[in-house]
Structure 1
């Protein structure tokens, strides 16, 4: 049950906003793109399993130094493997290591990690402690849900939070839904279980020592700001991916200093990165697929998305990106001319 306040040494690592780890989305190219929009937002990798890191043939810990601050999310429950992977991550310079205790997929359950670990709070605490001992200078955190299946009482959540308190886990990210481990797909688990923000707020009141962040269903910056009246931070998922300009707004509205002023600046920043990746044999689409939502909500956004979606998968140069920029510039000029013409007519009517 709720504990008394314990001090933490996490102050230098606090970030009020973060982009959620999302499988197939928040890869290193996505994170590099997001970093061009915001200096302050904490970026998370996709969940990477300990087995894939230890036994896989690819370097799954690779990232660009410009991504900082960046957190690695691990999936696993073997204490020794988690400690080993934490050390590898620390050697690479990751700013945070996060344990996934929220993914509901069958594959993850079969591996005994993700949301099913909520039923084993002591094991979760042991995993956190092992990683903390392995990397004492890197914060080790948890992302979890409010409950699993029929085990969705506040007391069930508190059982996990109590154990995390025992090992002085500094940050807990709560997805404000429970997970159905049977009968719902991971996609359905992102929408069908009802949101319960009040329970997250209650957890912050009862466990004030946690740097507690809320996740789930946050669509706008205004919604995020309202949550900050109750919790320490907000993790944004699909909304930030589909409308990445939100990250620029976080820096300008919340932080008071925007990294970029216009979307075309972001594209200009991405061109050298994409050219460098192409020179190494990479594919244009691997990077640009994350940029489809850059002009979301603006005139020409649909044409931008369609052009890149149609030409991107087979492109071997940055030409589609340049064509897209030219298309948006033309659209902006037409819009400006239309506004000027309308203003002139309106002014004439007023004089009459």
Structure 2
């Protein structure tokens, strides 16, 4: 089974490889996750582009979207061969595209099929296989739906269950609305953990920072931080000290950016546009004098053809040195 852990959620269009390298510089301990990749894309697409990552990202997990057990097994094996540390099955994404493809949150209604997929992946790989789900969808009773799915996938061999503590309303709410409108029910996840004491249960959804994560860890085995980690990444600087009693990799965000520069320069040399990386930095100095000027400078100059690392360096100089975002923030 997996050890108790802290992780950063897989988020579509957000947690790409550049974002993950940035996050890794703030916490050695957090498990990082890829964006959801469909089995079709992995089997038939450009695997080097889709699955490539920087060695510094470990531990890093591959999140899959799919429902065909054979395709899931094939994709999981490909992921393992690429060196990923975990395979995670998405049973929580509520987007229309996901629903139409018979994967994501709609699979909450098909626990037996999810279990078949988990069993197929477990036969194919030796690394952990986990499932990320909601507490239910639409008119399902979360007490029944979550318990049924959890028991099926654990019986099939799943090593952990990551639960976004909200329902997903596939009929009536947009994907964006599904991130906020359905009420959070952390107690439902706590009850699942109490019912399955030997199963690692990780909680996700609406968690605002490391202090709140510590409170959840009184009830569950792990915490997955999502938008808070992305929109205000400085929060990650306190993850290792506060959750694991270990020194943070860097004391302040400016130190993180100094360490990020060689990676950015290497990516630029390989033809990656600066904006592809700097778009992940907009919240880096949230609340610090100069943060707005920092964001504006990146927005206006980072998108220009040929923009180089000096754009980022110049943006950083606009942030007040007297009030650095740090582990003491």
Q: So what's the TM-score if we normalise by structure 2? A: 0.95
**Distance (whole Å) between structure 2 residues aligned to residue 279 and residue 165 of structure 1:** 45
Is 1:80 aligned to 2:74, yes or no?
A: no
3-state DSSP of counterpart to 1:144: strand
Partner of 1:180: 169
User: Per-residue deviation at 1:125?
Assistant: 0.6
Partner of 1:217: 206
Contact 1:15/1:41 (<8 A) preserved: no
**Distance (whole Å) between structure 1 residues aligned to residue 124 and residue 116 of structure 2:** 12
**Distance (whole Å) between structure 2 residues aligned to residue 232 and residue 147 of structure 1:** 21
Is 1:65 aligned to 2:55, yes or no?
A: yes
Contact 2:92/2:132 (<8 A) preserved: yes
Is 1:101 aligned to 2:91, yes or no?
A: yes
Contact 1:141/1:169 (<8 A) preserved: yes
Is 1:245 aligned to 2:204, yes or no?
A: no
Partner of 2:34: 45
Q: Which one of the candidate residues 205, 210, 224 is aligned to 1:235?
A: 224
**Distance (whole Å) between structure 2 residues aligned to residue 27 and residue 69 of structure 1:** 15
Is 1:265 aligned to 2:255, yes or no?
A: yes
**Distance (whole Å) between structure 2 residues aligned to residue 98 and residue 262 of structure 1:** 32
**Distance (whole Å) between structure 2 residues aligned to residue 111 and residue 254 of structure 1:** 38
Q: Which has the larger radius of gyration?
A: 1
Partner of 2:116: 126
Contact 1:152/1:178 (<8 A) preserved: no
Task: Tell me whether 280-289 or 295-304 shows the greater mean CA deviation.
Answer: 295-304
User: Per-residue deviation at 1:168?
Assistant: 2.8
User: Per-residue deviation at 1:309?
Assistant: 1.4
The alignment yields a C-alpha RMSD, in angstroms, of 1.4
- Structure 1's unaligned 5+ residue stretches are 1-9, 337-352
- Structure 2's unaligned 5+ residue stretches are 325-329
User: Per-residue deviation at 1:52?
Assistant: 0.9
**Distance (whole Å) between structure 2 residues aligned to residue 211 and residue 119 of structure 1:** 22
Q: So what's the TM-score if we normalise by structure 1? A: 0.88
Partner of 1:340: none
**Distance (whole Å) between structure 2 residues aligned to residue 220 and residue 138 of structure 1:** 29
3-state DSSP of counterpart to 1:60: helix
Is 1:166 aligned to 2:181, yes or no?
A: no
Q: What is the number of residues matched between the two proteins?
A: 321
1:287-324: CA deviations, max 9, x gaps?
11111111112221111111111111115211111112
Equivalent residues in 2 for 1:291-330, closer than 5 Å: 291-314=281-304, 315-328=306-319
1:253-277: CA deviations, max 9, x gaps?
2222111112111111111111111
Equivalent residues in 2 for 1:269-280, closer than 5 Å: 269-280=259-270
User: Per-residue deviation at 1:16?
Assistant: 2.2
Partner of 2:43: 54
Is 1:194 aligned to 2:205, yes or no?
A: no
Partner of 2:327: none
Give the 3 Å change call, closer, same or farther, for CA 112–160 of structure 1 in structure 2: same
